[in-house]
Chain A
Amino acid sequence: MSGGHHDHHHDHAHHPELSFWRKYLFSVDHKTIGIQYALTALVFLFLGFCLMMMMRWQLAYPGKVMPVIGNLFGEGNMPGGVMLPEFYNALGAMHGTIMVFLGVVPMLVGGFGNYVMPLQIGAPDMSFPKINMASYWAFFVGGVVMLISFFVPGGAANSGWTSYAPLSVLATRGQTFWLLGMVFLITSSLLGSVNFIVTIIQLRAKGLDFFRLPFFVWAQFVTAFLLLLAFPPLEGAAVLQLMDRLAGTSFFMPEGLVVSGVPQAYAGGGSPLLWQHLFWFLAHPEVYVLILPAMGIVAEVIANNTRKPLWGYRPMVYSLIFLGFMSFIVWAHHMFMTGMGTKISAFFATTTMIISIPSVIILTALVISLYRGCIRFNVPMLFALAFLPMFAIGGLTGLPLGLPASDIHLHDTYYVIGHFHYVVAPGTIFAIFAGIYHWYPKVTGRTLNSALGKIHFFLSFVFINVVFMPMFFQGMAGVSRRLYDQTMYAHGDAVQSLTRMSSWGAWMLGLSQLPFILNFFMSLAAGRKVNQNPWEATTLEWAAPSPPPHGNFATVPVVYRGPYEYSVPGTQKDFFPQHLATEA
């Protein structure tokens, strides 16, 4: 498909010229909204990363003055350039919150999902463009509220991203901002997920049956259901915690609390475990929200760069659906140490073991997809390939955590931090990079520089392992999470060299992102221009111009075959796009 406008801002046939506000800020075009989400999310990812780099100074050199920037954070946070424990805890809580809710999910779902999914299904836009815009602005407001919390008296929320009660109920004002911010973020998520589900069901192009959908769309589809159904209980819980904090209710506050010798004036009768149940009921499906779209991106990049169809597409899709369903019934594996009895722990341990099966199926199918392929090692593929063993390590290390008996020793230690970071950092974030390098040409009409991309990849890959691999050993040694100073304990002190290794790895990892940041901006102006299908891919987004105009396709596409018809016997080229009736 050729033709269409190169510059998507002009569409004389249908609309009058939109004002700056309507075109760039309050746009209802899914591509503009996708870019807004992606850019905002990248800023938040960068910010969350910076928070962590600060934490790692305190961890590596406890109680020492932070060089160069130590005096920029005020006497309330870092008197004399030395971090206070309350500030450390605030950095920790906000690092987690920002990365998960303001960085990764908006990037994967709001950014990639919004931009790519309607194109991949041949739709002119999302089903509800105005709701799409509203969901971005709700996210933006939620993010602003979260950031403002750093500047209120008492600082930002510091009870962990998990906000366990009673600590969070008793915490300083920043926690209220956290809760309010979450309400906006959850609203944004709900609006978005309704939009995604309706769009995928109703607006697929003619001929695009469900089992001809790209795996990326399936992943977004299941993810949207997870967001739709799992977030409301957290919204309810946030309301209850706000009531406890602001109206003096006792939903999470038992009788007889005494804090620093002062009996607390709560009526009592509440349950701290109620918060944990409601929180984890969302937060477990949330982690599948973090990984499913990432798997979707990796699947697209792998299929494209092996020049053959994905192996096991159907089992992968069924696994996605099964995984989505199972994710709702494993949540209490985060709560094994709360005094859980034998029957309930056996139930959740069993469901946790069962949920590992669809994950393994998807991962194995992706690896088998390489077999007998013709593998191109471009930058998106490097990140997508690295995802596979990294996610494997993350997934495998979940095994000792998912069984109560082994969890006794490992719960709330650095082993957990290693486990989930392997899945999210060299897992999901690498998938995000793969997606950026892969779809940048579609969004901008130019490619990112490949050499800089490879440097970015190799440095990131090495240093991300330097950061997280030592954590498993620290966890086995018994080092607890969220410690301002690990050297207080003999077992923590003995592995302080590993802590320093992680910290240096983190700072080097930060430097390793410079090639990417440079590349991202330089290529906007000076990147090599490409045609609409530089990767010779088969899915529908590559049938639209780069970048696609308002309305996406000059004529509505019709789909004639599956999404990964590469190296089809009898064709001249090694790819057969979905929308072509015959090979032209």
Chain B
Amino acid sequence: MSVAVLPYTVKPHPVTGVYSGKLGTWLFLASEVMLFGALFSAYVLLRVGAPASGPAAWPSHDATELSWKIGGFNTLVLIISSVTMVMAWASLKLNNLSKARMYLGLTVGLALVFIMVKLLLEYIPKFQAHHTPSHSNFFGLYFTLTGLHALHILGGVFVITYFIFPGSSLWKKDPEYYTNRIECTGLYWHFVDLVWIFLFPVLYLL
């Protein structure tokens, strides 16, 4: 089934005003909101229900040893990566593939910085200090929430890398289609960034 036979894959639908991939991406993001929403709800329920004292009590800020500076730095890294993602799409709209690939590469690079900071400056020291997921529900949630988020970042890295290298051949065949795919990837990327913008205050500040 060639793409050209399916209508509105590239050109927007006259009534909805979007091409199918964009609508699909928004729907997928709605489901992701439900996923992270459920986990945030779990956080609320567990925090409110935690006993006042004992090993299962909710740790104080200092006890968590979470550095808002590291978290804040990572937040900045992700926000900039969202900007580079938009720049990539804008470059494609201005017909500049090589600039777009550069911006995509920057996005990937920033994402990897995020992951490395997380891994080296947070996860590994935590495990060394015995602040493992089983230590308390705070850490259980911390690792589950940030771990799931990190998996989403890695998924995005995988997709963007694909579009930088083998996927970029689509530009020659159908540049508008390629641009649309980058736009959808960008939507996903902004969402992943947005989840972090909620995670950071909830875990590091509250």
Contacts and interface: CB of A to CB of B under 8 A. Distances in A.
B198 to A, nearest CB: 15
B51 A202 contact: no
Nearest to B50: A269
A118 to B, nearest CB: 10
Given A202-B8, A202-B13, A274 B46 contact: yes
B20 interface: yes
A270 B137 contact: yes
Nearest to A224: B27
B38 A229 contact: no
Interface string A1-26: 00000000000001100000000000
A366 B54 CA distance: 60
Interface string A213-235: 00000000000000011111101
A486 to B, nearest CB: 36
A197 interface: yes
Interface string A257-297: 00000000011111100100110010000000000000000
A195 interface: yes
Contacts of A235: 35
Contacts of B132: 247-248
A29 B49 CA distance: 50
Contacts of A247: 132-134, 140, 143
B1 A29 contact: yes
Interface in A107-127: 124-125, 127
Contacts of B32: 232
Contacts of A202: 7-8, 13, 16, 20, 23
Interface stretch (A237-245, A308-316, A430-438): A237-245
Interface string B25-67: 0011011101111110110011001110011111000000000
Contact of B7 (A15, A203, A250): A203
Interface string B84-125: 000000000000000000000000000000000000000000
A324 B100 CA distance: 42
Nearest to B56: A269
Nearest to A227: B31
Nearest to B22: A198
A108 to B, nearest CB: 20
B136 A267 contact: yes
The majority secondary structure among interface residues of chain B is: helix
B13 A239 contact: no
B148 interface: yes
Contacts of A124: 1, 5-6
A549 to B, nearest CB: 12
A516 to B, nearest CB: 33
Contact of B1 (A195, A197, A201, A551): A551
A128 B137 contact: no
Contact of A250 (B24, B30, B41, B56): B56
A3 B101 CA distance: 48
A21 B8 CA distance: 28
Interface string A87-102: 0000000000000000
B34 A233 contact: yes
Contacts of B137: 249-251, 267, 269-270
Contact of B38 (A28, A236, A243, A269): A236
Interface residues of B, number: 47
A550 interface: yes
A393 interface: no
A7 to B, nearest CB: 17
B134 A249 contact: yes
B128 interface: no
A269 B49 contact: yes
B24 A198 contact: yes
Contact of A255 (B5, B27, B35, B54): B54
Contacts of B143: 243, 247
A267 B135 contact: yes
B31 A271 contact: no
Contacts of B54: 255, 268
A129 interface: yes
Contacts of B169: none
B144 A249 contact: yes
Contact of A228 (B21, B30, B56): B30
Contacts of B24: 127-128, 194-195, 198
Which of A201, A231, A235 has the most B CB atoms < 10 Å from its CB? Answer: A201
B6 A255 contact: no
B16 A232 contact: no
Given A243-B133, A250-B56, A255-B56, A269 B46 contact: yes
Contacts of A14: 2, 5
Contact of B6 (A125, A201, A236, A281): A125
A248 B133 contact: yes
Contacts of A232: 31-32, 34-35, 37-38
B95 to A, nearest CB: 27
Contacts of A251: 42, 46, 137, 140-141
Nearest to B47: A269
A197 B27 contact: yes
A125 B133 contact: no
A300 to B, nearest CB: 25
A278 B38 contact: yes
Given A129-B6, A243-B144, 11 more contacts: A127-B9, A197-B23, A197-B27, A232-B34, A243-B140, A248-B134, A249-B134, A251-B137, A267-B56, A267-B135, A269-B55
24 contacts: A29-B1, A125-B5, A127-B6, A194-B27, A198-B20, A198-B27, A202-B7, A228-B31, A243-B143, A243-B144, A247-B132, A247-B133, A247-B140, A249-B133, A249-B137, A249-B144, A255-B54, A267-B56, A268-B51, A268-B55, A269-B58, A269-B137, A270-B137, A271-B45
